Structure 1
């Protein structure tokens, strides 16, 4: 199974012990806690701001962080404070949640016969542009960017992200930057955060998650960074900060994440937690190296797998994504994800996930080398 991007390895012990201790605290009157802050406990927001941002010389205040049950959920939640007349742009191929949440919120207009939507501008990501789209010439209001990218494994350079920030400031657009896989970046010059780019604090929101670095897919914890300097525009042209609207949304619709889970997330920043997270990432990227090499050995053109736990592979000549899926399943008994499921530009590709045990990854690599 190399399809779904779910982690397979146990939680870091630092997080396990912290959550056990937190549950024990809730069992005693002296240390019991009820409702927590809707935005997240200060201890976790402070750890995030210091370790993920200020230690990298990135300006982020504790109260600009909103703790949630995951970045996937935040993709939908953010639409609660954005209007339905916004023109939306998404990369193609793309993580389907970006499109589907806008469809469910009524922000995309009518669907076309090819499955696309009138209200969405699709930005082609191809091998020719290294799967990193350029800003469009036309105006859009909301842009989704994900780097390191799911599904292609591509990363954006500082210069490429700077062009997007320049575009957003010129067009009064909002960048929604999904950095769920930033911990997998291995190359030195690749930005880990959109806020490393000057001007981004005026036009960007960043989504992050503990799912893929700390193995929290079943525990559920992530966060959004929304700078107080990000301004939105109303229909009559009035400009106002998004931060208080987002804060109001959280205080109305959420009680944040449970205390034990937030203590577990905090523990990932401890000395032992960092070592254990690093071991998880090294494990999955070791799988990626094996799987990418196996694809190359049978003549398949492979991308990604260097700064992200996904390998984006061109199908055998003449095969569609679903035909390749059928061949892999029938001949090798291996499940991959057809690229067409990520958009029109994904046709002719498939995604291999490195989230697996080493034993399974080695077996998949062995079977791949038997592909005819």
Structure 2
């Protein structure tokens, strides 16, 4: 039995959530909270297996409730959010604070046809994720910081001053990891960064994510467009658009609606494999937190072609899935938390090479 706490102030939306969950005999609603304070109190008292969290609540917000829960009673949280821009920014802040995943509320159109089964599938997946006290909670002393890992050996690039592109892949937990990695890069880091982040595919969610990430990191973040030469992208962070693969051909950005890989479109493997073929030793690849194995084989191809490759370490991952697969097959030269990956990238003389 998977015990679910529903946090939602709208009676109508609580009804939708209840109705969707009662269709699965293994999902049991153990409580319903209508304020952020109730959400925190009921989490401590009921100790649910998973929480559905609304962002716009009376009293403390869904974001503040998420922060308290992840500091005091870490529990897998699925944010169930509307596509309102203000609420979406709060949603991504909640993901950065330790929430596991996000799902859009019903829109009232044909897209709602499979909403209930998607909710049940997502809750089952989220409930299996082992969460820990989130690092944000450590900033105010509510939890003791973990011991610092032993520093790795310095990275020596195979071709100094020749890094043409950085490719990053992430999934569950990715918004927080991406924010940390990009924020810690030096302000004068000019190498183009291409990123595949598995995220909700609606256009509203996508636009909000790129704007949110830009605001969090102070970097020029936008969605990739077909036909743009890599040499024109100095200082930019490009995200794969929703439901489109992004890859490189003849040193130009290309987009595709080809078949999913590992049930993913965009796929990290598609990006990494093209970077390996196009740039070889003049690239760096980073595989961050996420469920599944997307990106592991592509990262291995990058390493075999001479690229510097990184995987996020287990302690800092929300889900140690994709990076674990990369580590198991020897695809990652260095296994580090996101901030340490940034420091190593900064050592690679990040001047984009004109091709």
Tell me whether the two structures share a fold, i.e. TM-score over 0.5.
no
Q: TM-score scaled to structure 2, two decimals?
A: 0.31
Structure with the bigger RCO (C-alpha within 8 Å, sep 6+) is 1
Structure having the higher strand fraction is: 2
